Structure 1
């Protein structure tokens, strides 16, 4: 692959259609609930916390050759570099050979289950390779000796050999390094790799959403991190709403350690509503963590991290009566969709129909519903209800490393040629913008269901022929 590039990547271009129908259905969903004109929905990305970074490009690399039915293709292979929001630098290899990499794309730390690694039984071997090769092992003489490379290794050889070995497991690719030393390293890493468990996230809040009645403590929300401590930021409107973030003892918190339990202290006279808390820390992100982008930029896996800023957010919803629902979402590549988890802490059941199946969450219980999606499908749906419930979930399901469409063409560039996110070069990205009134997404609506006091709109991207 070339820097921020399109080489060695199958471009799956998608053309967006007009979204007039979708916008009308979104509005209809709001009207059906009797809610009138709704405020902009709280957009909930499937980001469970950790580091967020911007793709900088391919920095240290050599050459490799991909062998397939169409012939041999020479590409670049090596280490990418990303800059972390808030400070820090990440080094990554790609685990998504046939997809494009977009320079300046935003990435977020993601569980393996939200990427192709979640359905790859060899994912643990990739983590072993990362821990036992460059740049984690930066004594190249020692690495060369262990791999039996008599001529020694340059940084470029080490990066190329490591990426080639990873591709053999991440993409089941028939690929070789051009340089003999790099190829020997790749063979050693592939044959020596052992299965390792997925590393823990750098920072998460569990659960990501809670609910209940005002006049008490809503929670707990547990901090989980390898950092020494985290700073706790209360809701943005804390001074006017009176909502505080406290510990078990009811005392306000400005910092916490891993394992600490946080609570939303909501005043008894607070009107129905919601609030968010944010925690932030500085730590090194564990090697082997996956990084995914909503712009269809190829999935990355962490090879090295400086001290970096990580963060996580949790929300609370409260009301005096009725179903009081906490909602969260996460991509599930094993199930091929998005898991929506709803917890009901109200005094009435939360009942809804989703894709023809009726679900009911009794008082005090939690249920997870999987929304099935097609590969590369952009989704954008909103759930609204009483008590200020208004959650919008957006993203793209990207669980496979091979394009499902036929006729894909591998594009080779003689020089690095980035395609910047949001620019004119974004012809291979689906349109997922929004207006101030309603969500707009390229595609056709496939479901509009009234959810017993809530409304859900799910839109589905329409498949179109691919373009080179």
Structure 2
């Protein structure tokens, strides 16, 4: 349920309606009620036939789950009855040009009780007005009442409560609203607490202007003791037909009310932020680095508080949300053994065989390869030599020059190096 604990309205009495007789013979008043929304009056139908609340009882917006499995049927009734539509439109349901507004509201109210509380109207004794009975039958006929979708919240912060640890990110809270923007503030938090936006960036002054669909996180300082704060969203928002309001004070009960007309009112919704004192969350894993003949021990702390850890009895302090590397010499053969301990009873022993292979030079690696001799290029030979080899251009009268090119043969033989790198995690 959203917003039920935030009082944004007060019960202001009954409106149009009349007394009707139920199937069990009980006579009750059926019709519209009035809600005061910060100076704006909204009319609503009751979801319970228990009689109206006392004036001044505080109300807050909630979701439609309180209407039971027939919320869609109830939503259709309030959307197709007075005051959301005219009496002439309601009269079309029974083939008449118009109906008395009191008959329309009484019939709609009785039809809502039929779905919300399985309470039926007396339709046979003649105790109720004819138009009330006929409209009631139309409102409850599944061939006519095809159901309607939920109204959606005017303003909702969800979930209602989230918990975490000091120093860590807590969230996210979503803000849903029919308003263009609403104010979101963090209240009652210790100094240094941050309200963070979708990008995890601090919101200046822990106050934001949020659109529909925005979401937020909270981070409490790591040294803060256990506590709680409140995330509050406020703003003027349109309220739709079908939105549900319930009494917020258990000592002052009232019927659940379903809005029968669209209005604009000042809304408020809030959520609780709770946290425990920061703790350390140690973990470790070991990595066998054969080429360096090392054991690499990685100490991790996923908590916000510092973690005092030991590796084979040697102490180390790992800061909150950090990782620290410890290097140990690796034995050349046999097995290695690393013992890690930390806060909260953390203790792990890492042991495994050393599988590193010793590098040995290959016999082929001692074979030397002679460097090849490049063939001379024409541009590197003297012009006189060219003329001597060709017999002279003047004597032969030809443009061709014979070339003598020599080559060498090279033999390349390589060796191989094998390295094994073994990694162990824990």
Higher relative contact order (CA 8 A, sep 6+): 1
Matched, 1:164 2:110: yes
Residue aligned with 2:180, SS: coil
Distance 1:164 1:235, change over 3 A: same
Report the CA distance shift for 1:187/1:167 in structure 2 as closer, same or farther (over 3 A): same
Moved more, 276-285 or 173-182: 173-182
Kindly indicate whether the alpha-carbon contact (under 8 Å) linking 1:49 and 1:311 is maintained by their aligned counterparts in 2: no
Counterpart position of 1:368: none
Deviation at 1:204, TM superposition (A): 1.6
The answer to whether the Cα contact below 8 Å between 1:277 and 1:314 also exists between their aligned partners in 2 is yes
2:227: which partner in 1?
Answer: 273
The SS at the match of 2:56 is coil
Q: Which runs of 4+ in 1 moved over 6 A?
A: 345-348
Structure 1 residues 46 and 200 mapped into 2: Cα distance closer, same or farther (>3 Å)?
closer
* Distance in 2 separating the partners of 1:106 and 1:346: 43
* Offset of residue 232 of structure 1: 1.5
SS of the residue corresponding to residue 218 of structure 1 reads strand
Match of 1:458 in 2: none
For normalisation by structure 2, the TM-score amounts to: 0.57
**TM-score after normalising by structure 1:** 0.52
**Post-superposition shift, 1:81?**
0.3
Q: Are 2:64 and 1:112 equivalent residues in the alignment?
A: yes
Q: Is the 8 A contact 2:17 2:105 kept in 1?
A: yes
1:124–1:140 distance in 2 versus 1, CA, 3 Å: same
Partner of 2:214: 260
1:246-325 aligned at under 5 Å gives the runs 246-247=196-197, 248=199, 249-252=201-204, 253-293=207-247, 294=250, 295-321=252-278
In structure 2, the residue matched to 1:82 is 35
Q: Within 5 A, what are the aligned runs for 1:74-153? A: 74-84=27-37, 86-98=38-50, 101-113=53-65, 115=66, 117-118=67-68, 121-137=69-85, 139-150=86-97, 152-153=98-99
CA distance in structure 2 between the aligned counterparts of 1:219 and 1:190, rounded to whole angstroms: 43
Are 2:183 and 1:244 aligned? no
Query: What is the distance in 1 between the residues matched to 2:147 and 2:70?
Result: 7
RMSD of equivalent CA atoms: 3.1
Deviation at 1:280, TM superposition (A): 0.8
Consecutive unaligned residues in structure 2, runs of 5 or more: 282-301, 306-426
Instruction: Tell me which of 52, 72, 84 is aligned to 2:8.
Output: 52
Q: Look at both structures and tell me which one has the larger radius of gyration over its CA atoms.
A: 2
Match of 1:220 in 2: 172
Partner deviation per Cα, 1:318-374 (whole Å, 9 max, x = no partner): 3443599xxxxxxxxxxxxxxxxxxxx9799xxxxxxxxxxxxxxxxxxxxxxxxxx
- Post-superposition Cα deviations, 1:92-138, rounded to whole Å, max 9, x if no partner, equal 1112114663332222222233x3x23xx33321111111111111x
> Which sections of structure 1, spanning at least 5 residues, go unmatched?
1-44, 325-344, 349-468
Deviation at 1:298, TM superposition (A): 2.3
Please list the CA deviations of residues 32-86 of structure 1 after superposition, one character each: whole Å capped at 9, or x if unmatched: xxxxxxxxxxxxx984577632111111112311231xxx3443210000112x4
**1:287/1:303 contact within 8 Å kept:** yes
